[in-house]
């Protein structure tokens, strides 16, 4: 890769790149010498040299007139990139924090929202479970329960919220089913499913539906949150029908 491409990639303007390259060839020079060689206005040359000096790409040699010396790319570009990478990582961390806080903000009524990434999905589920006052219906795959959700369900049950849990039966997942039973949930199992479904859902107080999908291809979970009484009623009917045919373990 040519130095022009490298300088462009790290954000150098055309003038800035020309001045730095010119000074590399001249080794040391005054602003007027650089401006003449690079064919750039003197005033712009002064401004850009000051900028390059602040960023550590050139050194200022005192005297009259002031002269500048270009520092080698190996000692300037790499530290510059490291600082950029550091700032990018900081911004990435801040963006993740902001994203994680979004589910805690007021969610709009009668709205369909989509979420991806389990850390965010878990926060949405915790918020809706925490807001439940009467009944929570859960159709699960009976995988390993998330500790935070299990703890919150136990708290809600102690406060009088009824929790019904329904899901496919597999011998390997009996322990997970008993974990729910142990905290006071009312679980039932469906024994005639040939494989685990790729979806699960919950209904909180007949108002909010959280429908999630597991994607084997993407190896991730996606959540659709629906706050609508009519839709919640539909899922309650589905749950009730499955509940009638299910068995107590």
List beta partners, residue 237.
Answer: none
- Looking at residue 181, its pLDDT comes to 93
Q: Which of these three, 38, 53, 88, is where a domain ends? A: 88
Model confidence pLDDT, tens digit, residues 105-125: 555 566 788 888 888 889 999
Q: What percent of the chain has pLDDT over 90?
A: 49
> What are the CA-CA distances from residue 135 to residues 5, 41, 118, 125, 167 (Å)?
62, 74, 24, 14, 17
Percent over 70 (pLDDT), the chain:
92
**pLDDT of res. 6:** 81
Residue 96 domain flag: no
Last residue within a domain, chosen from 60, 88, 116: 88
Asked if 158 and 194 sit in the same domain, the reply is: yes
Structural domain that includes position 42 = 3-88
**130 assigned to some structural domain:** yes
Do 116 and 230 fall within a single domain? yes
Query: Do 13 and 118 share a domain, yes or no?
Result: no
Tell me what pLDDT residue 1 has: 61
Which residues does 80 contact at the CB level (< 8 Å), separation at least 6? 10, 55, 56, 57
**Whether 219 and 129 share a structural domain:** yes
CB 123 within 8 A of CB 101: no
pLDDT band at 226 (very low <50, low <70, confident <90, very high): very high
Q: Are residues 11 and 59 in the same domain?
A: yes
Q: Are residues 156 and 223 in the same domain?
A: yes
- CATH number for the domain including 181? 3.30.870.10
Contacts of 188 (CB under 8 A, 6+ apart): 164, 165, 166, 243, 246, 247, 248, 249
Query: Is residue 237 scored above 80 in pLDDT?
Result: yes
pLDDT at 203: 96
Give the number of domains in the chain.
2
Report if residue 204 sits inside a domain: yes
CB 206 within 8 A of CB 128: no
User: Is residue 93 situated within a structural domain?
Assistant: no
**Is 110 in the same domain as 82?**
no
* Res 115: pLDDT: 86
pLDDT of residue 159: 95
Residues 128 and 162 in one domain: yes
99 in any annotated domain: no
The domain that holds 59 is classified in CATH as 1.10.10.10
- Whether residue 40 lies inside any domain: the answer is yes
Do 159 and 219 reside in the same domain of the chain? yes
DSSP output for 113-180: EEEESHHHHHHHHHHHHHH-SSEEEEE----PPPHHHHHHHHHHHHTT-EEEEEEE--GGGHHHHHHH
**Confidence at residue 102, expressed as pLDDT on a 0 to 100 scale:** 58
Q: Which residue has better confidence, 220 or 130? A: 130
| Same-domain check for residues 123 and 230 | yes
Reported as a single tens digit per residue, the pLDDT across 166-210 is 999 888 889 999 999 999 999 999 988 777 788 899 999 999 999
- Claim to verify: residue 18 and residue 81 sit in the same structural domain: yes
Let me know if residue 38 belongs to a domain. Answer: yes
Band of the pLDDT at 73, cuts 50, 70, 90?
confident
Whether 168 is in a domain gets the answer yes
Query: Which pLDDT value is given to residue 160?
Result: 95
42 and 160 part of one domain = no
Burial (Cβ within 10 Å: 0-12, 13-18, ≥19) of residue 210: buried
Residue 135: is its pLDDT beyond 70?
A: yes
Between 62-76, 77-91, 114-128, the lowest mean confidence (pLDDT) is in 77-91
Structural domain ending residue among the three candidates 57, 88, 119: 88
């Amino acid at each position: 890769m040519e130095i022009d491409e490298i300088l462009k990639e790290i954000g150098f303007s055309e003038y800035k790149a020309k001045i730095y390259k010119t000074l590399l060839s001249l080794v040391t020079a005054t602003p007027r010498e650089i401006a003449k060689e690079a064919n750039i206005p003197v005033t712009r040359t002064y401004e850009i040299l000051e900028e390059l000096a602040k960023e550590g790409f050139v050194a200022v040699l005192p005297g009259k007139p002031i002269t500048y010396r270009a520092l080698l790319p190996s000692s300037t570009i790499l530290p510059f990139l490291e600082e950029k990478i550091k700032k990018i990582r900081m911004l990435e961390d801040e963006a993740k924090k902001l994203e994680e806080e979004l589910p805690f903000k007021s969610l709009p009524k009668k709205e369909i929202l989509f979420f991806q990434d389990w850390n965010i999905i878990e926060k949405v589920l915790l918020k809706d479970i925490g807001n439940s006052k009467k009944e929570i219906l859960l159709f699960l795959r009976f995988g390993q329960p998330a500790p935070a959700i299990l703890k919150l369900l136990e708290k809600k049950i102690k406060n009088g919220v009824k929790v019904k849990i329904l899901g496919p039966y597999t011998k390997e997942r009996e322990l997970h089913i008993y974990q729910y039973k142990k905290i006071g949930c009312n679980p039932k199992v469906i024994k005639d499913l040939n494989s685990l479904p790729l979806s699960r859902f919950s209904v909180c107080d007949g108002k909010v539906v959280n429908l999630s999908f597991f994607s084997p291809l993407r190896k991730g979970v996606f959540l659709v949150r629906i706050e609508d009484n009519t839709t919640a009623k539909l899922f309650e009917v589905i749950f009730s029908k499955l509940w009638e045919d299910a068995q107590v373990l």
